[in-house]
Structure 1
Amino acid sequence: MKRVVSVSLGSSKGNKTHEVEILGQEFRIERIGTDGDMARFAQMFLDLEGKVDALGVGGADIYVVVDKRRYAFRQILNIVKKVQATPVVDGSGLKHTLEREAILELQNSGVVDFARQRALLVSAVDRFGMAQALAEVCPNVVYGDLMFGVGLPIRIRSYRTVRWIGSLLLPILTKLPFQWFYPTGEKQEKRTPKFGWAFQEATFIAGDTHFIKRYAPDRLDGKTILTQTLRKDTIAWFKAAGVERLIATTPVMGGETFATNVMEGVIVALLGKRPEDIAESEILDVLKRLDWKPTVLDLSGDSEQPPEP
């Protein structure tokens, strides 16, 4: 049995384990939260090295991406680069493939008509595949990087501007502590709504689950949300906020979804290669065989349970 473990800076309340067969191979998939404890987070990677088939970085990014250039968060990179015997992934491989394809699949299948949407992507540099795909199919997109990443009440209305601002700021920002930009541990459960007008203007809201929940207003009536990690309490929160449709980019396992870092770990384990040796075409080929499609949950009725694939 292959074992994939996501070590997360998030709350341990979200810990879970699931066993599943994928492309004829048995997998044990785990998520272990360290409650924002950076020292424990770092030690767990060393403790699990050589004992699992892939390790995922949860509740954090190693890289953010603008166009084709990657910028590493120095603090996180310094932790994971000590791990040599086991592949370590942060979901970047799927953010550029699975999440990009999810936008195109929603458009091509008619689930979402992006020509009629006003989209808000809370962070383009974090969900760069989504950002690039939205730039292709949606004429009205607001990228929230300056609002929710830096705290400035400035809408970015083109991906070209994201590239320009990113090239100026990311070389500096990625050298600062990661916790300055993303909630970890118990902070993931604390809501600090801001720039509510950006959410109210949008009909389609996309991005990281914690980012959206942390900054969104109490009411999101009639909105469609595209995100990656859906837990039962998260689904209940979005339903109570009035969200009409909730869409996940990752497949449902055990009634919930795992984050992109976990699912990238599954693909790495299936291919038996290190992430740096895997071509994008190989990831796309595996995704085609897996036939992972966006999970669409209608919250306007009584259902709060995502369907198993």
Structure 2
Amino acid sequence: MAKRVVSVSLGASRRDSVVQVELLGEEVVLERRGTDGDFQKALRLIAELDGKVDAIGLGGIDLYLWAGGRRYTIRDAKRLKEAARKTPVVDGSGLKHTLERRAVAQLAGLIDWKSTKVLLPSAVDRFGLAEALHEAGAKVLYGDFIFALGLPIPLYSLSFLQKLAFVLLPVLTQLPFQLLYPTGEKQEKRAVDWRSRYYTWADLVAGDWHYIKRHMPDEMRGKMVLTNTTTEEDVAFLRERGVKRLITTTPRLNGRSFGTNVMEALLVALAGRELGEEEYLRYIDLLGLRPQVLDLQEEA
């Protein structure tokens, strides 16, 4: 009997999909179900799935934000996790800290990080990726103030960002999540505004796809995007803007790459329990998970 993994997302339901894969000798059904930003609907759906599926992923919301080894729990996401009593609920942060960090090293043969300018719209969402880019020698613009808080304050120092995060995250994680991240239909709306000029500076834009897409200008000729959770429609969107290369940290299945929350829930379902960092790395090796590169203009 196939294992079943469901991602319950606060994102748009029109991005829903189902795919069946065979991994490590197991059949697994991966499903994404969006609730169009309806928090109560997400709570009910998780409670309904509890005990009936092997693992649940939280999509469109983070359970944890990280900074320098400290973990901060988002209050709204904790309510969603606690709606399940039997089934493990994960948000993808375990994979972000392992898979995405490792991806930077694996891409060193393709990208000269020391001569690459990287825009990371939200570092606290992907602190492992931020640290890996810093260690690789990339010049990184950490856009947390710009893109999450709407303040024109670009940060280029990871240590300074970390100090700010220690002060701000205990407060920000208690706010309604919709104030920090686009949910439902807001994920589909673009706002090409003053924030878009930071894309012009960058050679590569990395991190959460919805953060990246929301303020992306129409002209992205020759640039690279490092993300996940892209559909065929998203690939066409990037190609139209002249993006040279799309790199996804999770594998493409039936034309789309699934989010880290889905892939983390998949590993938990295969293991039959929640995992630690070393165990995630072991499963990443067993499955041969590596960044996937699409040369968009060559394919066109």
**TM bracket, shorter-chain basis:** over 0.9
Letter in 1 for 2:271: L
Contact 1:7 1:45 in 2 (8 A): yes
CA distance in 2, matches of 1:209, 1:41: 21
C-alpha separation in 2, matches of 1:114 and 1:214: 25
**How far did 1:219 drift?**
1.3
Amino acid of the residue matched to residue 121 of structure 2? V
Partner of 2:279: 282
Equivalences, count: 298
Query: Which amino acid in the other structure matches residue 203 of structure 1?
Result: D
The superposition leaves residues 12-47 of structure 1 with CA deviations (integer Å, 9 ceiling, x where unpaired) of 101100001011110000000001111101100000
Q: CA contact under 8 A between 2:57 and 2:265: conserved in structure 1? A: yes
Aligned: 1:188 with 2:187: yes
Q: SS in structure 1 opposite 2:299?
A: coil
Partner residue in 2 for 1:14: 15
Structure 1: stretches of 5+ with no match in the other structure: 304-309
Deviates more, 1:98-107 or 1:188-197: 188-197
Deviation per CA, 1:191-232, whole angstroms, max 9, x where unpaired?
Answer: 012322211000011011110100121211111100011101
SS at match of 1:60: coil
Q: Provide the residue aligned with 1:148 in structure 2.
A: 147
Query: Does residue 59 in structure 1 map to residue 60 in structure 2?
Result: yes
- Report the 3-state secondary structure (helix = DSSP H, G, I; strand = E; otherwise coil) of the residue aligned with 1:300: helix
Measure the CA separation in 2 of the matches of 1:214 and 1:138.
27
Q: CA deviation at 1:79?
A: 2.3
Query: Equivalences for 1:95-134 in 2 at 5 Å?
Result: 95-107=96-108, 110-134=109-133
Cα contact 1:135–1:141 (8 A) shared by 2: yes
For 1:237 and 1:200, the matched residues in 2 are separated by: 17
Query: Conserved in 2, the CA contact under 8 Å of 1:2 and 1:53?
Result: yes
TM-score by length of 2: 0.97
- The 8 Å contact of residues 65 and 71 in structure 2, kept in 1 or not, is answered as yes
Question: Hey, what's the Cα distance between the residues in 2 that align with 1:115 and 1:50?
Answer: 48
**Cα offset for 1:58?**
0.5
- Percent identity between the two aligned chains: 48
Counterpart amino acid of residue 156 in structure 2: R
Give the CA RMSD over aligned residues. Answer: 1.0
- Paired residues for 1:109-258 under 5 Å: 110-194=109-193, 195-258=195-258
How far apart, CA to CA, are the structure 2 residues paired with 1:138 and 1:200? 20
Q: Letter of the 2:102 partner, please give it.
A: E
| Letter paired with 1:286 | Y
* CA positional deviation for 1:72: 1.1
Answer whether contact 1:119 1:138 (CA < 8 A) is retained: no
SS of match in other structure, 1:176: coil
Separation (CA, whole Å) in 1 of partners of 2:256 and 2:127: 24
For residues 256 and 184 of structure 2, the distance between their equivalents in structure 1, rounded to whole angstroms, comes to 20
Distance 1:139 1:17, change over 3 A: closer
1:307 alignment partner in structure 2? none
Q: In structure 2, how many angstroms separate the alpha carbons of the residues matched to 1:189 and 1:221?
A: 22
Question: How far off its partner does 1:82 sit?
Answer: 3.0
- 5+ long unaligned stretches in structure 2: none
Q: Give me the whole-angstrom Cα distance separating, in 1, the residues matched to 2:155 and 2:88.
A: 35
Counterpart-to-counterpart distance in 2, 1:142 and 1:88: 32
Corresponding residue number in structure 2 for 1:262: 262
Give the whole-Å Cα distance in 2 for the aligned partners of 1:243 and 1:144. Answer: 20
Contact 2:120-2:142 within 8 A present in 1 as well: yes
